[in-house]
Amino acid sequence: MAILKVIEILANSNKSWEDAANNAVKEASKTVKEIRSVFVESQSCTVKDGQIEDYRVNVKITFGVYS
pTM of the model: 0.88
Q: Longest C-alpha distance within the chain, in Å?
A: 52
What is the band of 1 on the pLDDT scale with cuts at 50, 70, 90?
A: confident
Residues 46-67: tens digit of each pLDDT: 999 999 999 999 999 999 997 6
C-beta of residue 61 within 8 angstroms of C-beta of residue 35: yes
- Distance of alpha carbon 54 from alpha carbon 64, whole angstroms: 31
> At residue 10, what are phi and psi to the nearest 5 degrees?
-105, 135
> pLDDT tens digits for 23-33?
999 999 999 99
pLDDT at 5: 97
What is d(CA 59, CA 38) in angstroms, rounded to the nearest whole number?
6
Which CATH number belongs to the domain containing residue 24 in this structure? 3.30.1660.10
What is the extent of the structural domain holding 56? 3-66
| Total tally of structural domains belonging to the chain | 1
